[in-house]
Amino acid sequence: MEVDEAEFFNRLLDYRNILYLCHRNADPDAISSAFALSEAIGGTVGLVDGCNRVASVLIERLGIEVVDKPNPADYGFVVVVDTSTKAQLNDLELTRYCVIDHHTTTALTEKAEFYLHRNSTSTVEIVYNILKAMGAPINRRVGIGMLTGIVTDTGHFKHASADTFRTVAKIIEDSGVEYGEVLDLMAATPQDISMRIAILKAASRVELDRVQDMLIASSHVSSFGGSASSMLINIGADVAFVGTVKGESARISARAKRDAVNAGVNLGQLMEDISNEYSGTGGGHSGAAGIDVVADMKEVLDKCRERTKQILEVSFGARSKETSLEDEIEELEDE
């Protein structure tokens, strides 16, 4: 059953020993949302399978107590935070639980006792409205966490809406946190040499498709697919797909610029549609999404590229051409 912010809070008051469960490789949006709720209502922040580098720094700097790989059966109730599919919880068995999330895909809500879903740019924004509905104060630690969650989940405001900026302003006013503090925290995040190598390898393996002035880049690496796809966008691609393989599973990380989204590319819907064809899991946002399926990685990558080309061709009324990075360089040199 879907509830609003006030009802979500009121229902949680009926439970004791609550576990706020974050998805695998938890990001600052998940961590800070769980932390804010645990501070206001009480309970434990749980990590299904670790967290990313910025979230790790956030946990250390704010002194957030977390439990790694918790057993849901040890708790009275589970609040699944910033998570849309069971695969993101490593197929962990849940009995009594609710969901608070902002992603397009909402598969986990089907068996939830209740859920709160909003089409916001981050889960933090939903949590902020819960805290305001219950009249809870926002202290500095919570404020820093929430701002970091919003900044990272919106790609440093690339995918932000007017409501996003309004919420950021309110959090700054309520908590007394300066925006510069959040930037300093993120700047202190150490760079992983393995990630840098993966990004360079992804760039060297790029295949390009072109629809008028839109470039669709695809590549593959052994790890850090999300970072690699983001970097391909930063260096010139309009849409990027990067595949990684884990056992029999293929994982595709996808990113898109706002111009591509405005042209009709909705990566969250695209990933969900393709994942359904393989009985896998996929979804996310219009500009950032992912997929996990048991299939050949190249086959899935090709399908992502082809579907995106079709969308852009319809939008522009043009035909795409496949090219390599070398071909594009030669073409530019000839000009």
* pTM assigned to the model: 0.76
Give CA 236 to chain center in angstroms. Answer: 21
Cβ contacts of 17 within 8 Å, gap of 6 or more: 43, 44, 75, 76, 77
Residue range 272-305, pLDDT digits in tens: 899 989 988 888 888 888 888 999 999 999 999 9
Residues 104-136 pLDDT 10s: 777 888 899 999 999 999 999 999 999 999 999
Looking at the chain, list the stretches that DSSP marks H as alpha helix, in order from N- to C-terminal side: 5-12, 28-41, 53-62, 123-134, 140-153, 162-175, 179-187, 193-204, 225-234, 258-262, 267-277, 297-316, 325-334
- Cα(143)–Cα(128) distance, rounded to whole angstroms? 10
DSSP 3-state of 114: strand
Q: Which residue has the tokens 């701002």?
A: 147
Which portions of the chain are predicted below pLDDT 50? 332, 335
Distance separating alpha carbons of residues 264 and 270, to the nearest angstrom:
11
| Main-chain dihedrals φ then ψ at residue 274, nearest 5 degrees | -70, -40
Do you know the residue count of the chain?
Answer: 335
Distance of CA 276 to the CA centre of its chain: 19
